[in-house]
Chain A
Amino acid sequence: MNEFDQTINDLLLDIFDKILVTEEKALRRGNFSDISVAEMHALESIGPYDRRTMSETAAMLGVTTGTLTVAIDRLVRKGYVERHRDPNDRRVVRVALTRKGKLAFRMHNKFHKLLVDRLVGPLDPSGREILLKTLHQIDLIVKEQYERYVLSDGTEDEP
């Protein structure tokens, strides 16, 4: 790898690590220190306004419904999520955020908004356009690798 490529590689890994660690630390220091980043992402998948089925939520997170059930059990115990029977089909269970869950969701969203504002704020329109294009390109490449390695061996992330 030449020096330029090495710098790109180091930056990508550093950004990835730091975002995860910062997210985790922001949660730990805040009012919702009893949930992990992965659990917060489960809250994000359910969303503040919807009652989603387990399979919809599992699909959004890229996990099986069995794995999600364990995560949802934990979030129900901690008071962030509640289960509801679908009034139109009693066999279907839907999950929704409680008031505490909605609060956690919005505070976490604010964290992301501040991060993006800091990143995008100083850029002029053409800088924003270049950033957006570059990030789309990175996302596409990472997605290809994800599908190649993760989806092919059937493993999944823990929510």
Chain B
Amino acid sequence: MTATRMELVFSEVAETVATIAGVPMDQIVGETELIRDLNLDSLAMYEIVIDLEEAFDLRISDSDLDKIRTVNDAVHYILAASPAE
């Protein structure tokens, strides 16, 4: 896994989260908690899930979503679910 790929995934996740949460992208860091820090409800969480599924061509089940608490959790989930070609 290269740092570049991790950065790319982080950037996409951060942009998606910032857009849905309606906050500037520089407010999003790896430790940002989606529900607690950004006050996201389940509709907003699903918006993020659907946009990330589309961006990375993967499927995120509800049980996997329950384990994603922070931005970093989402980044690591995506890296594990869609390894670099």
Contacts and interface: CB of A to CB of B under 8 A. Distances in A.
B20 to A, nearest CB: 11
A106 B49 contact: yes
A143 interface: no
Interface residues of A, number: 11
Interface in A73-112: 99, 102-103, 106-107, 109-110
A113 B62 contact: yes
B40 to A, nearest CB: 14
Interface in A97-136: 99, 102-103, 106-107, 109-110, 113
A16 interface: no
Interface in B34-76: 42-43, 46-47, 49-51, 54, 59, 62
A110 B59 contact: no
B50 A107 contact: no
B50 A110 contact: no
A109 B62 CA distance: 9
Contacts of B42: 107, 110
A110 B47 contact: no
Most chain A CB inside 10 Å of its own CB: which residue of B42, B50, B59: B50
B43 A102 contact: no
The 6 closest A-B pairs by CB, nearest first: A106-B46, A102-B50, A103-B46, A31-B43, A99-B50, A113-B62
